[in-house]
Amino acid sequence: MKQEYDILVIGGGHAGAEAAWGSAHLGASVALLTLDPSRIGQMSCNPSIGGLAKGQMVREIDALGGLMGIATDNTAIQLRMLNRSKGPAVWGPRSQSDKYRYAAEVQRLLSTCANLDIVRGEVVEILTEGESPVVRGVTLANGQSVRCRVVIVTTGTFLRALMHTGEAKTEGGRVGEGSARGLSGCLTRLGLELGRLKTGTPPRLHRDSIDFSGLEVQWGDEDPLPFSYLNEYGQGGRWRPPLQQVPCHLSATNGKIHQIIRENLHRAPMYSGQIQSLGPRYCPSIEDKIVRFADKTSHHVFLEPEGLDTEEIYCNGISTSLPADVQEQIVRLVPGLEKAKFLKYGYAVEYDMVWPTQIRATLQTKRIAGLFLAGQINGTSGYEEAASQGLVAGINAVQYADGKECDFVLGRDQAYIGVMIDDLVTKPPTEPYRMFTSRAEHRLHLRNDNADVRLTDIGRRIGLVDDARWAKFESMRAEVERGFGFLRQNRVEGVSALEWLKRSQTDWAGLCRLLPGASAIASDIAIRIEINVKYEGYIARQGRQIERFSQLESKRIPDGMDFASVMGLRNEAKIKFAQFTPRSLGQALRISGITPADVTVLAIHLDRSSPRSAMGS
């Protein structure tokens, strides 16, 4: 390890991997510090990537030049497009991944970064100087000090982490791994307010102990779409995943299981008072489901393989921290699991986080210049949310280290990534934050098929999109334009093929039957064209909404503004604005408890204090 770097990334999870990848590819000298380098990219919970809204985020990461999409395609063992019965705006690509190959692939990709060092170590102190603190380096547990200009903290569930299985408590953020204890105290000494959240994981069972014969089989798509645009461009829709594809199986809980859980709630840490922190409402433990949905007689249990070379089966749907003896009782009452052999018991983990009111939309902390936070430390849950933040933090860290004034901030109209970060800094989570399509007011525009059109130009300007990706992207755009030209120039049933395809009862397959020349257009290009044609009216309407929305977003609020001096502003609004320090009038309006009248008062104040207004007076 060198004595000085531009950027130090603390933590090797999904946020840390993207932060290191992004900042190293932008030319910074980077060290990734982790408790165990062999666990970089580890899938701690479900061995899957993507899903509803989450899949769009992975596509966005890839469009910007990140690594998650590439690693997912190379290690997928089942690929499915969720929500096919609904419109393309809410389709969500999902991959069941080989979790061991995924971690190895992330590590391989990081090893290709020439100016990235991966170092085993625990950071116990972040070194700052000045009355307005500025990051200058870190101190490791072994006493070594390393200088740097930027620190990105991506510690996941490891800050003062404590695992619970029934009454048993073990320090650690993951089974078999330790807890980062020193850093929490350091963050508190730096003036950051910490909170505590909880997440959980289900048991893992031995494949050979499960009777799959009576269970519903769930296969992936026969003709799957990749996550990375690099695997889509030029493939004609015929990309094939490199690994063998395997099925999952579906079972369910029943009344006997529910009764046993009710009888043992007093032994569940969430109900005994042993755990005080909040867990994810959208992905509850099985004991939480039984309490909250008391009228339901069963809940799905998805049996998902964790890899091609492992016997581990992940029991999706029965996350639990009940004692081991109770877990054995309830699992063996699930159809197909009567003789189940446990490889790992389910557990809950509590961990420290930093309330995200203390970070800017760039993910830099407001109190300490050069200190960035990304991932679960900001109150989020999920690999995709963490990776998205890691990439944003890495990009902004390089801009800060280079002394650039511009900030990399994606708008709510540009990406789900922008929606998530804006939500975090304006509406602090009371539970681990998870991305849903319903959170995005512009979701018709933020589809998984067009993330490259939305973001690859931006990634190119930043410097993350290399020449090879850019050439493929430009080739795709040219092919789409040629396809539209073909539809405009040819007629079907008395109208242009473009107008014909707009009809609700038509599709591309029907067009090919009536206009054979359309078959020459590659299927991946045809999908893009058809979605754009079908959505044209909706997209135009949403474009007008985005234009109105952008007017508020373009009204920037100066850094360091004294909100207490704004005449006519309610005291509550003054306090909220001082706490959240919004970047724009649009962001100010989204702060919980702020009214349109508050923003109107603020807008009038900004107009009166602007240089142009002063010149006019």
pLDDT tens column, 241-278: 999 999 999 999 999 999 999 999 999 887 777 776 66
Same domain, 255 and 341: yes
Residue 614: its pLDDT value, please? 42
Q: Which residue has the higher pLDDT, 30 or 281?
A: 30
pLDDT score at 463: 96
CATH of the domain at 148: 3.50.50.60
Domain containing 582 equals 555-616
pLDDT over 90 percentage in the chain: 68
Residue 548 domain flag: no
Q: Both 471 and 426 in a single domain? A: no
In the listed set 444, 462, 480, which residue is the last one of a domain according to the structure?
462
Residue 354 domain-assigned (yes or no): no
Residues 379-394: what's their mean pLDDT? 96
pLDDT at 613 over 60: no
Domain annotation covers residue 96:
yes
Q: Which domain CATH number covers 605? A: 1.10.150.570
Q: pLDDT band at 178, cuts 50/70/90?
A: low
Same domain, yes or no: 452 and 473? no
| Domain CATH code at residue 237 | 2.40.30.260
Same domain as 580, residue 497:
no
Q: How far apart are CA 338 and CA 341, in angstroms?
A: 9
Q: How does residue 70 score in pLDDT terms, banded at 50, 70 and 90? A: very high
- Stretch 67-90: mean pLDDT: 93
CA triplet 187, 131, 427: central angle to 5 degrees?
Answer: 45
Q: Strand, coil or helix: what is 296? A: coil
If one counts the domains in the chain, the total is: 4
Q: What is the DSSP string of 456-502?
A: HHHHHHHT-S-HHHHHHHHHHHHHHHHHHHHHHH-EETTEEHHHHHH
Last residue of a domain, one of 318, 347, 376: 347
Residues 16 and 129 in one domain: yes
Model confidence pLDDT, tens digit, residues 97-143? 999 999 999 999 999 999 999 999 999 999 999 999 999 999 999 99
Domain membership of residue 104 (yes or no) is yes
Whole-angstrom CA distances from 249 to 47, 452, 592, 615 are 15, 34, 42, 71
The verdict on residue 184 lying in a domain is no
Same domain, 445 and 480: no
Lowest mean pLDDT among 30-34, 302-306, 537-541, 572-576: 537-541
- Say if residue 412 is in the same domain as residue 472: no
The verdict on 133 and 11 lying in the same domain is yes
Given 429, 462, 495, the domain boundary residue is 462
Is pLDDT of 301 > 60? yes
For 424-480, the pLDDT digits (tens) are 999 877 788 899 888 888 888 899 999 999 999 999 999 999 999 999 999 999 999
Residue 474 belongs to a domain with what CATH number? 1.10.10.1800
User: Does 42 score more than 90 pLDDT?
Assistant: yes
Q: Measure the CA–CA gap between 129 and 124, rounded to whole angstroms.
A: 17
- pLDDT confidence of 404, banded at 50, 70, 90? confident
Structural domain includes residue 127: yes
> In sequence order, what are the residues at sequence separation of 6 or more whose Cβ sits closer than 8 angstroms to the Cβ of residue 413?
442, 445, 446, 546, 549, 550
Residue 85: pLDDT above 90? Answer: no
What is the Cα–Cα distance from 130 to 373, expressed in whole angstroms?
20
Q: In whole angstroms, what is the distance from residue 149 CA to residue 5 CA?
A: 7
* Predicted pLDDT at 231: 94
Together in a domain, 298 and 368: no
* Residue 182 placed within a domain: no
* 521 and 396 within one domain: no
Question: What's the pLDDT at 276?
Answer: 66
Q: Are residues 336 and 217 in the same domain?
A: yes
Residue 590 has pLDDT above 90, yes or no: no
Q: Give per-residue pLDDT as tens, 540-550.
A: 887 777 777 77
Single pTM value for the model: 0.90
Structure tokens at 372: 């960035």
Sign of CA dihedral 496, 501, 507, 508: positive
Quick one: pLDDT at residue 274?
76
Do 479 and 566 lie in one domain? The reply is: no
User: What does the pLDDT average to over 272-290?
Assistant: 75
Identify the pLDDT of residue 277: 65
Is residue 414 included in any domain, yes or no? yes
Average pLDDT along the chain: 91
